[in-house]
Structures are given as structure tokens and as C-alpha cells.
Amino acid sequence: MSEALRVCTRCVMDTSDQEITFDEHGVCNHCRHFDRITKNLWFPNQEGEKRLGLLVQQMKDSGSKRDYDCVLGLSGGADSSYLALKVKELGLRPLVPVQAR
């Protein structure tokens, strides 16, 4: 018999994820991972814009005498397609390898 659906008290994750665990407050392991690790590497503010600008400039400088200044994997899904749009907006010149089917 299957267990009742359980949802994290902080996010939308639930027991449809077979790897999910919950602490005594009902907070899932994904939220705890975010608090422990991701939060320290995530800058959704002016600091992030500054860091991204420096990284983009570094990529442009490094690739200035080359045809491309970065490589972009493009699957055709929403995530990689959005990233391709952002790379174009940032003025980067990506090499986008195409895999023959």
C-alpha cells in the first residue's frame, strides 16, 4: 500500500520525488541543500549582475582573437533555449555544436 502524499512545508516538492526526505519541521532535503550550499553561491541582485558582467567581459577578452568566446550546449528544450537567448543578449559569440541524429 502506498504512503500518503507528503509536501514540504517550504516549497512545492512532495513524495512523488522518490529521493525526498523531510526533517522534523517538514522541510525537505532540497530546501536544506539550498540553505547549506546554493544560497551561498546565488546572487539574484546587483551583486549577481556585477559578477555576471565581470565573467562575460572575461570571456569576451579571452576569446577576442577567436571565432567564438564560449561553448553552448543546446538541446532545444526550454532551459537551453532561454540560455541561448541570454547569451545573445550579453553579446557573447557561442559555438553551438550540433549533434547529427
Tens-place pLDDT, residues 59-71: 999 999 999 999 9
User: Grid coordinates standing for 20?
Assistant: 525526498
pLDDT band at 1 (very low <50, low <70, confident <90, very high): very low
Mean pLDDT over all residues of the chain? Answer: 93
Query: What separation in angstroms does the CA of 18 have from each of 25, 52, 76, 91?
Result: 19, 35, 27, 41
- Give the number of other CB atoms < 10 A from CB of residue 8: 21
Query: Is the dihedral angle over the CA atoms 17, 79, 86, 84 positive or is it negative?
Result: positive
Task: Please report which confidence band the pLDDT of residue 97 belongs to, taking 50, 70 and 90 as the band edges.
Answer: confident
Q: Which helix (H) or strand (E) holds 90?
A: none
Residue corresponding to grid cell 533555449? 81
